[in-house]
Amino acid sequence: MRRRNFLKNASLTGVGLAVGNSLKGCQDISPDGKKVVVSDKKTALPLVIATWHVIDATARAMEILQAGGTALDAVEQGCMVEEANEKGQSVGKGGLPDRDGNVTLDACIMDKHGNCGSVVYLKNITHAVSVARKVMEDTPHVMLAGEGAKNFALKKGFQPESLLTEASKEAWEKWKVEAQYNPIINIENHDTIGMLAIDKNGDISGACTTSGLAYKMAGRVGDSPIIGSGLFVDNEIGAAVATGLGEEVVKTVGSFLVVELMRQGKTPQEACEEAIKRIVQKPNSDFNNFQVGYIAVNKHGDTGSYSIHQWFSMTKYQGSVNQQIQSDYFKKA
Question: Shortest gap between Cβ of 223 and ligand ASP (angstroms)?
Answer: 5
Please tell me the distance from the alpha carbon of residue 220 to that of residue 146, in angstroms, as a whole number. 11
DSSP for 224-253 reads TTSBTTTEEEETTTEEEEEEE-HHHHHHTT
Residue from 210, 235, 269, 313 that binds ligand ASP (CB under 6 A)? Answer: 210
> Which residues are CB-neighbours of 129 under 8 A, at least 6 positions away?
75, 76, 79, 80, 83, 107, 108, 109, 207, 208, 209
- Total number of residues binding ligand ASP (CB under 6 A)? 13
207 in Cβ contact with 70 (< 8 Å):
no
Residue from 85, 224, 255, 303 that binds ligand ASP (CB under 6 A)? Answer: 224
**52-67: string of b/e by CB count within 10 Å (b at 16+)?**
bbbbebbebbbebbee
Segment near ligand ASP (CB under 6 A), from 59-67, 167-175, 221-229, 268-276?
Answer: 221-229
Question: Shortest gap between Cβ of 18 and ligand ASP (angstroms)?
Answer: 36
- Please, which residue, 22 or 224, has the CB nearer to ligand ASP? 224
Tell me if 243 contacts ligand ASP by CB under 6 A.
Answer: yes
Segment near ligand ASP (CB under 6 A), from 6-14, 124-132, 143-151, 216-224?
Answer: 216-224
237 in Cβ contact with 230 (< 8 Å):
no
User: What amino acid occupies position 246?
Assistant: G
Of these residues, 58, 126, 192, 315, which one is catalytic?
192
Tell me if 104 contacts ligand ASP by CB under 6 A.
Answer: no
**171-184: string of b/e by CB count within 10 Å (b at 16+)?**
bbeebeeeeeeebe
Count of helices and strands (H, E) across the chain: 9, 15
51 tagged catalytic: no
Residue from 58, 89, 124, 192 that binds ligand ASP (CB under 6 A)? Answer: 192
Question: Shortest gap between Cβ of 120 and ligand ASP (angstroms)?
Answer: 10
- Please, which residue, 255 or 267, has the CB nearer to ligand ASP? 255
Question: Shortest gap between Cβ of 303 and ligand ASP (angstroms)?
Answer: 19
Q: Chain centroid to CA 148: how far?
A: 25
Please tell me the distance from the alpha carbon of residue 86 to that of residue 104, in angstroms, as a whole number. 15
Tell me if 223 contacts ligand ASP by CB under 6 A.
Answer: yes
Question: Shortest gap between Cβ of 225 and ligand ASP (angstroms)?
Answer: 9
Which positions are annotated as active-site residues? 192
Site residues (CB under 6 A) for ligand ASP?
90, 191-192, 210, 212-213, 222-224, 243-246
